[in-house]
Amino acid sequence: MSRPFEILGLQQIAVGAASKEPLRKLWVDMLGLAPSGHFVSEKENVDEDIVLLGSGPFQVEVDLMQPLDPARSPRVDQPALNHVGLWVDNLALAVEWLTAQGVRFAPGGIRKGASGHDIAFLHPKANEAFPIAGAGVLIELVQAPPEVIAAYRRGV
């Protein structure tokens, strides 16, 4: 099976809790990841701190998330491992090809993510129309910038 795109590597993991404080205590204070940014979205019901692991083009973002309103959906803390993000070299081709193969995407299509990259989410659950999905895992495809694509292809 020939794919018109390549998954390059891990871009991010997102973890959630009712409060970000225990997450910051672990990931920043205990493990030493570097705080990098903050993102809030009423639509996505999320208050998120962005911390970084590693450096350069292979740097991995760890999103520490809590719901803005725990009484409404989506609940970014359920499940606690909210999603995994993967760098892709051509997001538009990946979405088109995967959809044609029967992969289910979450509503919203391709859009800007919290870090400014174009993103699309594979739905965690399959359905009759789209029998292939994340098998319980929400997977974010993230358009890699040119320098990340080049670094992964060089293996540096």
What CATH architecture is 7-154? Roll (3.10)
- The CB-side HSE value for 156 (13 A sphere, CA atoms) comes to 7
35 has pLDDT over 90: yes
Give the mean pLDDT of the chain.
95
pTM: 0.89
Going by pLDDT thresholds of 50, 70 and 90, the confidence category of residue 82 is confident
For 48-57, what is the mean pLDDT?
95
User: Is the Cβ–Cβ distance between 94 and 149 less than 8 Å?
Assistant: no
Confidence class for position 156, pLDDT limits 50, 70, 90: low
pLDDT of residue 114: 85
Helices (H), the chain: 21-24, 91-100, 146-154
Does residue 155 register a pLDDT over 90?
A: no
